[in-house]
């Protein structure tokens, strides 16, 4: 580390290793009240060292600690920093990758609409392969980890930018153009359906949600197709560029931040961008229903009965339960176009999920334990995204019963809303995909109005790193060989 020249050295201190020899300033830190508590900071300007606490050596904690350290330097005059490495053993790159992600995610800020832009003097971050425990690390494997960390973090920040963009500047046509730009840059296949084509596909539930908006809907299919893929995976994203609630109008407080209702669809764009850059040996199809839910004389109404693409009839009892209507048709379309080994959908679907598991955690559910377990395994342990399982049950399925249609778009009880919404979507999964599908409700972590861990106030890019780690894991499994 001494051979690396930098304005400042960042030192991550594991609380239980506070007495470790690399903590050169232990006495000064104790006097300052710094004990290595998770995400705590102590800047010793005269020493040229910034200490940041981490609860453990695990990836999820190191990622957050690195992000907090970089965020702390905003507004300072430091232009270069250096950081040494942590590893649990010589071939383990997970913590290093998390540290790189933390640096890039922590440096993110969205100031596109500010007349005075944020100033960040920091120009370079050097991560040394010198390891605190003295391990000899293999440069080749760490170089791959560096590249994938950069791709994943940049894709997350790309997604954050889309979600943070106000609805008057990001509507269905704009999302379609973003997909076309990605397709051109990364040689992806892209199909865009406009209103007439959507009508021909009998996606009447999606069209009903869209019809009161001056911005016409788009259905986007973006595909990455490598040679001899180990698996075929479809990811479906809810792309509500704005949700007023429709005629079941949201209150003023709940209408703010509804630009974030496109988080699922935005994540699909970020995932396809990263997959193409990583050149993973997995065929990935992204489907986005880009729609705006507004009010007007042509708005769909409570009491309407809609006919979905698969022929099922839906009684509308609340027009603010619009995302599941869009996804119902979109899931049917995705299954029609591609027979996948696994099918996932991501959506800011229910406030009930936030009530149940909090702001920071996504809920995952489905008909079969395997795809659900795949999402859970890709969660906090490696991607840093917290995910918990929510179980389907037949009692909640009964609450979706309609007296005049095949199914109601909302439950007849206020409880278990995240699960009943997932069970509604299950009605639109065909037999071929029934045991291959999982639904991920990202309503909590997709957009939070305060800073947390590696995430800034606003959009987090939820779902991007989660699905990338899942796809990477699938790419290494020989049992998926076609």
pLDDT of 178-219, one tens digit each? 999 999 999 999 999 999 999 999 999 999 999 999 999 999
pLDDT at 417: 97
pTM for this entry: 0.96
pLDDT at 419: 98
pLDDT at 480 over 50: no
61 contacts 54 by C-beta, under 8 angstroms: yes
E strand or H helix at 72: helix 59-72
Q: Are residues 300 and 355 in the same domain?
A: yes
| % of the chain surpassing 70 pLDDT | 95
pLDDT at 118 over 90: no
Q: Are residues 393 and 258 in the same domain?
A: yes
Q: Which of 250, 373, 389, 397 is catalytic?
A: 250
pLDDT at 26 over 90: no
CA 169 to chain centre: 21
pLDDT at 427 over 70: yes
CATH number, position 392: 3.40.630.10
Q: Are residues 15 and 160 in the same domain?
A: no
* Tokens at 105, concatenated: 């995610």
pLDDT at 27: 86
| Cα(193)–Cα(198) distance, integer angstroms | 6
Q: Are residues 39 and 105 in the same domain?
A: yes
| % of the chain surpassing 90 pLDDT | 83
Average pLDDT, the chain: 93
Domain containing residue 22: 8-132
Q: Are residues 191 and 265 in the same domain?
A: yes
pLDDT at 481: 40
- Please indicate, yes or no, if residue 141 is contained in any of the structural domains: no
State the total domains in the chain: 2
DSSP-derived letter for residue 330 is H
Q: Are residues 127 and 201 in the same domain?
A: no
**In which band, very low, low, confident or very high, does the pLDDT at 18 lie, cut at 50, 70 and 90?**
low
pLDDT tens track for 402-425: 999 999 999 999 999 999 999 999
pLDDT at 476 over 60: yes
pLDDT at 478: 58
| Cα(365)–Cα(388) distance, integer angstroms | 9
- Please indicate, yes or no, if residue 321 is contained in any of the structural domains: yes
How far does the chain reach from its first CA to its final CA, in angstroms? 47
CATH number, position 18: 3.40.220.10
Q: Which of 60, 238, 324, 469 is catalytic?
A: 324
Q: Are residues 338 and 449 in the same domain?
A: yes
pLDDT tens track for 281-330: 999 999 999 999 999 999 999 999 999 999 999 999 999 999 999 999 99
Q: What's the rounded mean pLDDT across residues 237-249?
A: 98
Q: Are residues 121 and 209 in the same domain?
A: no
Q: What are phi and psi of 66, to 5 degrees?
A: -65, -40
- Please indicate, yes or no, if residue 147 is contained in any of the structural domains: no
| Cα(77)–Cα(304) distance, integer angstroms | 60
- Please indicate, yes or no, if residue 2 is contained in any of the structural domains: no
**In which band, very low, low, confident or very high, does the pLDDT at 380 lie, cut at 50, 70 and 90?**
confident
Nearest to 321 by CA among 411, 403, 257: 411
Q: What's the rounded mean pLDDT across residues 18-47?
A: 84
| Cα(119)–Cα(71) distance, integer angstroms | 12
Q: Are residues 210 and 87 in the same domain?
A: no
The strand pair at 437-441 and 342-347 is best described as parallel
Nearest to 219 by CA among 232, 244, 201: 201
Q: Other C-beta atoms within 10 Å of 207: how many?
A: 21
- Please indicate, yes or no, if residue 144 is contained in any of the structural domains: no
Q: Please give the angle made by the CA atoms of 169, 202 and 311, to the nearest 5 degrees.
A: 130
- Please indicate, yes or no, if residue 462 is contained in any of the structural domains: yes
Q: Are residues 13 and 53 in the same domain?
A: yes
- Please indicate, yes or no, if residue 48 is contained in any of the structural domains: yes
| Cα(329)–Cα(425) distance, integer angstroms | 10
DSSP-derived letter for residue 75 is T
| Cα(437)–Cα(235) distance, integer angstroms | 10
Q: How far is CA 97 from CA 10, 36, 241, in A?
A: 16, 22, 32
- Please indicate, yes or no, if residue 417 is contained in any of the structural domains: yes
Q: Other C-beta atoms within 10 Å of 130: how many?
A: 17
Identify whether 160 is a catalytic site residue. Answer: no
Identify whether 250 is a catalytic site residue. Answer: yes
Q: Are residues 12 and 158 in the same domain?
A: no
Give me the residues paired with residue 233 across strands.
284, 342
Which position has the token pair 């050169």?
24
């Amino acid at each position: 580390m001494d051979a690396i020249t930098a304005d400042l050295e960042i030192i991550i201190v594991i609380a239980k290793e506070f007495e470790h020899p690399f903590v050169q300033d232990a006495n000064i830190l104790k006097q300052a009240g710094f004990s290595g508590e998770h995400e705590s900071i102590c800047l010793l300007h005269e020493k040229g060292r910034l200490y940041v606490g981490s609860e453990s050596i695990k990836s999820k904690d190191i990622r957050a600690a690195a992000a907090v350290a970089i965020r702390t330097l905003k507004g300072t005059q430091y232009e270069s920093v250096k950081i040494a490495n942590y590893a649990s053993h010589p071939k383990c790159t997970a913590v290093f990758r998390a540290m790189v992600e933390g640096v890039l995610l922590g440096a993110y800020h969205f100031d596109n609409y500010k007349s005075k832009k944020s100033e960040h003097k920091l120009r370079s971050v050097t991560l040394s392969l010198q390891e605190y425990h003295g391990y000899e690390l293999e440069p080749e494997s760490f170089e791959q980890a560096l590249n994938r960390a950069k791709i994943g973090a940049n894709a997350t920040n790309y997604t954050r930018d889309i979600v943070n963009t106000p609805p008057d500047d990001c509507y269905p046509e704009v999302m379609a153009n973003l997909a076309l730009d990605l397709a051109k840059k990364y040689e992806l296949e892209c199909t865009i359906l406009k209103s007439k084509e959507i009508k021909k596909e009998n996606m009447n539930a999606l069209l009903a949600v869209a019809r009161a908006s001056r911005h016409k809907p788009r259905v986007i299919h973006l595909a990455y197709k490598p040679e001899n893929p180990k698996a075929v995976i479809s990811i479906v994203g809810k792309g509500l560029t704005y949700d007023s609630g429709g005629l079941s109008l949201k209150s003023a407080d709940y209408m703010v931040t509804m630009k974030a209702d496109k988080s699922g669809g935005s994540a699909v764009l970020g995932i396809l961008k990263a997959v193409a850059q990583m050149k993973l040996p997995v065929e990935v199809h992204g489907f986005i229903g880009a729609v705006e839910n507004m009010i007007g004389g042509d708005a769909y109404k409570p009491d309407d009965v809609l006919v979905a693409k698969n022929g099922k009839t839906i009684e509308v009892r609340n027009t603010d339960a619009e995302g599941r209507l869009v996804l119902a048709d979109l899931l049917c379309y995705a299954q029609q176009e591609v027979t996948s080994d696994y099918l996932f959908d991501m959506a800011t679907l229910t406030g009930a999920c936030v009530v149940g598991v909090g702001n920071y955690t996504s809920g995952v559910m489905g008909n079969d334990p395997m795809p659900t377990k795949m999402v859970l395994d890709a969660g906090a342990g490696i991607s840093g995204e917290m995910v918990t399982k929510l179980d389907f049950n037949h009692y909640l399925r009964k609450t979706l019963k309609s007296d005049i249609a095949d199914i109601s778009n909302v439950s007849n009880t206020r409880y278990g809303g995240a699960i009943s919404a997932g069970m509604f979507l299950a009605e639109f999964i065909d037999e071929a995909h029934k045991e291959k599908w999982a639904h991920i409700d990202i309503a909590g972590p997709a957009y939070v109005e305060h800073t947390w861990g590696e995430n800034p106030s606003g959009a987090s890019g939820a779902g991007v790193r989660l699905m990338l780690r899942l796809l990477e894991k699938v790419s290494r499994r020989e049992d998926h060989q076609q």
